[in-house]
Chains A and B, each alone.
Chain A
C-alpha cells in the first residue's frame, strides 16, 4: 500500500511539470498552458490534503531523499519534512495557487494578454519553488528554493517588461530581497560550520544542537553559545526581513504591484512574502533559544505593523493599499512569533493567506470591472453592479480589519493577546504590543476607506458606471476564498474555548502534535523553550476579554471613522487635511529616498574603490604575471640558437650540472 509520503515529492513536481509543459508546448495548448497549471496545482492540492490527513493520522515524515555533496564533517542533501506545520502550509499554498491559476483564466486570458505561455510557465515554477521550500527538511535546501522563489517573483513582477516601471520594480524586488538573502546565506554557512548539520528536525538537527550547546555552556567562535545562536539567528532573519517585507527592507513590496494582480495575490498570500514568516516558524526551535532574537523579531514585527498601516491610509491606488496592508499583516505575524506565540503566528499566516488572496483577487475583479483602472477615486458604486465581487471583498475586508466573527479577528486577537501577556511581565514588550494595537485602528480605517471608495457612493467615472462583466473563473475563486475568510477562524476559537471551557482550539492541538508530530517540533516544546514569563490582568479570561475588547474596539473605531468620512455619495479626499503628515506618509516616510541615498552615497563609492582595486591591483598582478611569462618565454626560447654545436655544448653542460647536483646530494664527493 503506497502511502501519501511516497507521493510527497510529486506535490512540488507537478507544478514543475506544468512549468516545462507550458514552456515547451504553451503556444499550442488551449488557454496557453493554463490547464496544465490548473491540473498540476489541483493534483498538488489533493496530494497535500492526503498528506495532511496522513499526518493527522499520527504519522509525520522526515526523510533524506538524495545526498548531493558529502564531506568529511557534513553532507548536504535534499529531503522532505512533513509535520503538521509543513502539511498545513502545503495545503494553503497549493489551494491559493490553484485558485490563482483559475482566476488567471478570467484575468489574463479573457483580457487578451500576450506572453501567456511565459506567464503560466513562470507561475508553475513559482508554485514548484514555494512547495519545495515548504517541505524542505534542511536549511540549505530551504535557502535554495527561497532563492528560486525570489527569482520567480522577479520574473513575474517584471511580466510586462515592455513598460518602464515593471522591470524596474522587478529589479528592486530582486535586489532588496537579495540584500537580505545575503545575510541568510552567511547565516546558513555559519550554522553549518557551527553545528555540522542543517536539518530542521530530528536528533541531528541544528536547533537540537544549539540547545545542547547552550545547556553545556559551550563557547562557539569566541562567543558563548547563546550569543552565537542569536547572531546566526539574526543573520538568517535578514533573509526573512527581506522576503517578508519587514522594516527596513519592505520597500520593494509596494513597487511589486507592477506585476499582474494575480501574481500579487500569489506573492502576498501564499508564496514569496509568506516564505519569510514560514521560515521563522519552521526553525522556531532555534529562535526559541535566544530571547534577544525573539525580542528583535517582535519589535520589528510590531513596528512594521504600525508603520505600514499608517502609510496605507493615504494611498489612492487600490493595490497600493493592499500592499501596505500586507506588510502590516506580516508584521503582526512576526510580532506573534516574536513573543513566543507560535500558534498565533501560524494561525494568522493561514488566515491572512485566505483573506489577502481574496482581497487581491477581489481587487483584480474590480480592475476588470473598471477596465484596468486602479485609482479608487475613479471608482464608486460598484456594489450593486457586481454583488459577488462586493460581498466577497467585504468578507475579506472584515477579516483584514479584524471584525468578529471573521477569521482575521481570531488570529489577530490571539497575536495581540500573546503579546499582551508577555508584555505584562516584561514591560518592554508592552511597547511592541501598543504598536500592534494602534495598528489595528489604522487597519480598520484604511480597509474600509478602500471598501467605501470602491464600492459605495455614486460612480465617479464612466467606467464605474458601465463596468466590464466578470466571468465564472473570476467568481469561483472569490466565493471559495470569501467563505474561507469568514469561517477559517473556527479552527482555533481560543477565546470562546477559554470562556466556555470547550476544547475547540484545533489548530493549537494540531501544531502541538496531538494528532502526531515530530519530536521537538511541537508548540509545547517551543513554549517551554521560549524564555518569556507570562502575566495576566486578574485572571487569564479577564486579560483575554480586555485584549479582545480593546482590539475590536479600535478596529471598529477605525472602520467607523472611515464610514463617517467616506460612505457618502460624493466622498472627498479627507486625508489632504493632514497636510505635511500626508506628504510624509505618501512619500512612504522617505524610505526609498534614504535607501537610494545609502546606495549612491555609500555603496557606489565603495564599489568604485573596489573596482579600482580590482582593475589596478588584481588585474595588474594578473597582467603582470602574464607579461612576465611571455617575456620569459621570449628569453627561454633564445636558448635554442639553431647551431647544433651549441646544442651539444649546452647538453653536456646540463648533463654535468645534473651530475653535480646528484653527486652533492648523494655525497659522492665526500
Chain B
C-alpha cells in the first residue's frame, strides 16, 4: 500500500514553509542559501510524488533538472558571497544596505 499523494504535498509544503521561515529570519548568507535549497527540494518532493501519482516521468525528469540548476545556483551564489565577504568582511545579508529609497 502506497502513501496517498496528499501526505507528500503536506510534507513538501511544510518543507517550503520551513525554507521560507529560514529566509525571513536568517541573516547569514549561507543560511539564506540553504533555506532556498530546502524550498527547491520541497518542489522536488512534489514533482516526484506527482510523477508517481500521474504515472508519467515528466516530474521526475524535471526534478533532476531542478537539482542541477540548484547546484549551479549555489555555485554562483557562493561566488557572490565570497566577494561579499571580501568587500564587507561579513556574510550578514543585512549589512550591505547603502543603496535604498
List the interface of chain A (C-beta within 8 A of B).
637-638, 640-645, 648-649, 652
Contact = CB atoms under 8 A, between A and B. Distances in A.
Nearest to B100: A642
B101 interface: yes
Interface string B22-64: 0110010000000000000000000000000000000000000
A644 B94 CA distance: 6
A649 to B, nearest CB: 5
A638 B101 CA distance: 5
A642 B20 contact: no
Contact of A645 (B20, B24, B100): B24
Nearest to B98: A642
Q: Report the contact-size class of chain B (Cβ under 8 Å from the partner).
A: 10 to 19
Contacts of A643: 94, 97, 100
B99 interface: yes
Contact of A648 (B24, B97, B99, B101): B24
Nearest to A639: B101
A643 B20 CA distance: 17
Contacts of A649: 24
Closest A-B pairs by Cβ, 7 of them? A642-B100, A642-B97, A637-B101, A643-B94, A643-B97, A644-B93, A648-B23
Interface string B65-101: 0000000000000000000000000000110111111
Contacts of B20: 652
A652 B97 CA distance: 20
A637 B100 CA distance: 8
B94 A645 contact: yes
B83 to A, nearest CB: 15
A348 B99 CA distance: 84
Nearest to B97: A642
Interface of B: 20, 23-24, 27, 93-94, 96-101
Contacts of B100: 640-643
A640 B20 CA distance: 20
Contact of A641 (B23, B24, B27, B97): B97
Nearest to B35: A648
Nearest to B26: A645
B42 to A, nearest CB: 15
B39 to A, nearest CB: 12
B74 to A, nearest CB: 18
A648 B27 CA distance: 12
A644 B24 CA distance: 10
Contacts of B23: 645, 648
A302 B97 CA distance: 87
Contacts of A644: 93-94, 96-97
A165 B96 CA distance: 74
Contacts of B98: 642
6 contacts: A640-B101, A641-B100, A642-B97, A642-B100, A643-B97, A645-B93
A645 to B, nearest CB: 6
B101 A642 contact: yes
B35 to A, nearest CB: 10
Contacts of B97: 641-644
Contact of B99 (A638, A642, A645): A642
B32 to A, nearest CB: 9
A196 to B, nearest CB: 58
Contacts of B96: 644
Contacts of B93: 644-645
A638 B100 CA distance: 8
A204 B100 CA distance: 68
A649 B98 CA distance: 19
B70 to A, nearest CB: 18
B75 to A, nearest CB: 20
A641 B100 CA distance: 5
B101 to A, nearest CB: 5
A641 B101 CA distance: 6
A638 B97 CA distance: 13
Given A642-B101, A644-B93, A645-B94, 12 more contacts: A637-B101, A638-B101, A641-B97, A641-B100, A642-B100, A643-B100, A644-B94, A644-B96, A644-B97, A645-B23, A645-B93, A648-B24
A645 B101 contact: no
B17 to A, nearest CB: 11
B93 to A, nearest CB: 5
Contacts of B99: 642
Contacts of B101: 637-638, 640, 642
A542 B20 CA distance: 113
Contacts of A642: 97-101
A502 to B, nearest CB: 98
A652 B94 contact: no
Nearest to A646: B94
A641 B96 CA distance: 11
Contacts of A645: 23-24, 27, 93-94
A296 B58 CA distance: 91
B29 to A, nearest CB: 9
Contacts of B24: 645, 648-649, 652
Contacts of A637: 101
A640 B97 CA distance: 10
B77 to A, nearest CB: 13
A649 B99 CA distance: 18
